[in-house]
Structure formats: C-alpha cells, structure tokens
Structure 1
Amino acid sequence: MASRVIEDEAERPVGELASVVVEIPTGTGPARAHLWTPDGPPVGRIVLGHGAGGGIGAADLVAVRDRAVAAGWQAVLVEQPWRVAGKKVASPPPRLDIGWNAVMEALPALPGVPLVVGGRSAGARVACRTAAAHGARAVLCLAFPLHPPGRPEKSRAHELALPHEADIDVLVVQGHRDAFGSGPDIAALELPGVEVRGVEGDHSLKKYGPVADAVADRLPEWARAWPTAVDGAE
C-alpha cells in the first residue's frame, strides 16, 4: 500500500500553524507523518518522534515544531504504528526503528537542504540509532533516557555516541532533575560531538520555552553551509 494523505489541515490551523497528515505503511503497521511547512521554500527539514509514554502533542515537541517553522524549516512529527493503532504500550526498539525508517524513506523529497532528526525520550533513541542511514546533519535529543530510573548501570550512552561516528552533531536538551539521567549526568560523559543543554525540569520538560530556545539557537548553524545545496545545483 502506498502512502496517502488522510487529512489536509491547510484550512484548519493547529494553534497558529496548519499541517498535512500522511499515512505511511510500515512493516509494523501504518504510521502517520504530520508535516508543517513554512510559507517560503524550506531551509531545512526537522523530523521528530514521540516518546514511549505519549504522542506528538508533548509540549516540548510542539514548541520545537513552532520555532522551527518560524525559522523557515519544514517540521515533521511522526506517530509510530503502535500509537496509531491505539495501543498504550510502546513497541520494542527494533520495531520502533522499522516504523521510523519506513516513514523517513516515504517522506516527500526535499533536496538541497539539511535534515535534522530527533525526538523526545524513546524517539531520541530511535533517531540516534538511524541518523547515519538517512544522511542527517544533526540529531536533536529531548529528554534522552540515559538509563532507566535508579539503574545507572543500564547506560544507553553508546546510542548517543553513534551519530558522531558518522560525523553527525548531537544536541541533547535535558532536565536538571530527569530521573532517566540529568543534564550534568550526560555532560559528565564527555561524549565527542555531543552538546548538552541543561534546562529546568524533569523528564517531561513541561517548561518548554527554554527547550525551544536551545534548539532555535542551533537551527541557523545546522542550515548554514549545507554541502548538498551546492552539490544539488551541479
């Protein structure tokens, strides 16, 4: 089954923005991509996934979406198949990667501009594991779950390190009181290529203003001097 537009919200704003919703078949069931596009030609595309305990309406995801579109980026929020199916428990990581990869491959082409991938919590893990396969310029991790609460020995630092192995930048925006690993906890790892921006809050990052500010600070750098834009003109 091919991807299909299931809802065009151009005449029905979500907040101050309007989106197009595309249903995409994957090996684990249909996923949905919600696309918000700026008025002019996009200067980049940012694709974000949700966490294991919530959807694309999370305050930090919405705030980053709004700031990205305001900066001229196309923003895409991805609903994993388990969420589309109405399940309350997230799929295991391998199945999350299958759904995510299918969405990334099915998105309409947007050549000549940088791609940033990311998400919050489990969505950030998925983005780290798959960023190199999709040619990402950077990975944005909101509330990266460094370890299960109270289990620091179960570290997932190796996933944060994966993008740098492919020369991909990583920005982590982490709450100072995150039980899954605080901003200082991640900064102490001194992982190459990983920038940590600590903000007030816990894993939920409900104080989304500083989160959006931290991402907006990096958007111009991620969009600047993108080699694909030059190569594509040849």
Structure 2
Amino acid sequence: MNETQTVGTDAGPARITWHHAPRARTVLALGHGAGGGIESRDLRELAAVLPATGVTVALVEQPWRVAGRKLAPAPKALDAGWRGVWPALAAAGLPVVAGGRSAGARVACRTAGELGAVAVLALSFPLHPPGKPEKSRADELTGAGLPVLVVQGGRDPFGRPAEFPRGTEIVEVPGGDHGFAVPKKGDLTQEDALQAISDAVTEWLHRE
C-alpha cells in the first residue's frame, strides 16, 4: 500500500511517498539528488522491491522540489528539510535507515547521527565534483559515525569506487554512471544493474 504525506519543515512543505511493507521491521528513508526527484531509477527500484522483504520505503521530496523549483538550495536548507520530515519517518517506532542518492546521500550522512538513524545508505555518493578529486567530500561520508553502505557506478564521474576511503563498504555497479545507467553493450543490462542494486541493499539491510 502506498500513501503520500505532506510534512511542514523550516524549509517549507516536504512530501513523503510511503511504500509500506506488510510486516515492516525497518524504515528506509531515501532522499533525491539535486538534479532530479524521486523518479530516479534506483529509488523506484528499491521502493518496488524492498517492501516484500519487510522494509518500508519512504521516498522524501525536499521542499524545493515540492515548490516546483528547478535548482536545489544550499546544503543548510537541504539539511533543514530533512530534519523536518524525520519525526514523521520515525513515528512508527521502527529503526530508520537514512539514505538517498547523490546530494540526498550527503544530507543523510551529515544528519544521521543527530537524528538517531541506525545506518546510512549512500547511492551514487558525490565524492567530489567531476574532474576535481582534490575537492573531496570524504569527511561527510566517514563522519556519519554509523554503518554506511555506498552503492556506486563503476564510471561515476563524481567518484569511482577505487577513489573512496579505505574501509568504505562499497558495492560497484559495473559500467554504471552517476544515474546507474549502463552502456547498451556493457556487461550488464539495465535490468541486471538495478537488480544488483536491490539485491545488495536487501542483503545489507537484513544484516544491519
């Protein structure tokens, strides 16, 4: 069963689209990136697959997206929007895993500890701007202070798997770009790539 909930935050109204598990034991909250919304292929895949495994998926739309703006605000405003929806995410009393893709993964890492998340799922973590590895954001990732799983495309220009700090738990999607699109003549089909993501996340969630 799916439902949509609007939540007031200091950054404006946010929206949660719930994909409920029949017998939920965990909530996975997923924020979107700065260049798109909850319609991204990886978020859709996890929302479709995980409820059958006992994980309720909450897709969170930041206030700037709900308001129809095209440009994401500064990190401070993104964090405020995420903090504002957290009470609704935790209302069922279940453990909440904070997560997101790209900018949403950064938000999850920055705020997970203070909000009481049990772990962090980082999809396509933007380790650095394309072509600028010296501008690393690794401190956000390592500073989460919780178990973190990174799922990263093998040719992501924002950071390839080998660039991540030693000790990072990381799952590589071979040939995947920042949006997990894979080459048509690559080793994986697009369907295989998405299944690899959902399989890895399912296994990790049931381990945490």
Instruction: Output the TM-score relative to the length of structure 2.
Output: 0.90
**How far off its partner does 1:183 sit?**
1.1
Gaps of 5+ in 2: 182-192
The structure 2 residue matched to 1:156, chosen from 114, 118, 137, is: 137
Secondary structure at the residue paired with 1:107? Answer: helix
- Identical-pair percentage: 48
Shift of 1:190: 0.8
Inter-partner Cα distance in structure 2 for 1:20 and 1:215 = 23
* Residues 1:46 and 2:28 aligned together: yes
Q: Which has the larger radius of gyration?
A: 1
Residues 60-99 of structure 1 mapped to structure 2, 5 A cutoff: 60-99=42-81
Moved over 6 A (4+): none
Task: Write the mapping of 1:23-172 to structure 2, written as runs, cut at 5 A.
Answer: 23-40=6-23, 42-107=24-89, 109-111=91-93, 113-164=94-145, 168-172=146-150
Paired residues, number: 196
> Of residues 147, 171, 184 in structure 1, which corresponds to 2:162?
184
Q: Which residue of structure 1 aligns with residue 202 of structure 2?
A: 216
- CA offsets 1:66-106 (integer angstroms, 9 cap, x no match): 22211111110000001011111111100000000000123
- Corresponding position of 1:19: 2
Structure 1 unaligned regions, length at least 5: 1-17, 223-234
Q: Which position in structure 2 is the counterpart of 1:7?
A: none
Contact 1:184-1:198 within 8 A present in 2 as well = no
- Under a length normalisation based on structure 1, what TM-score does the superposition of the two structures give? 0.81
Deviations 1:180-225 (A, max 9, x none): 0011111xx214xx30111121101133221111101112112xxx
Relative distance call for 1:212 and 1:88 in structure 2 (3 A) is same
Secondary structure of the 2:152 match is strand
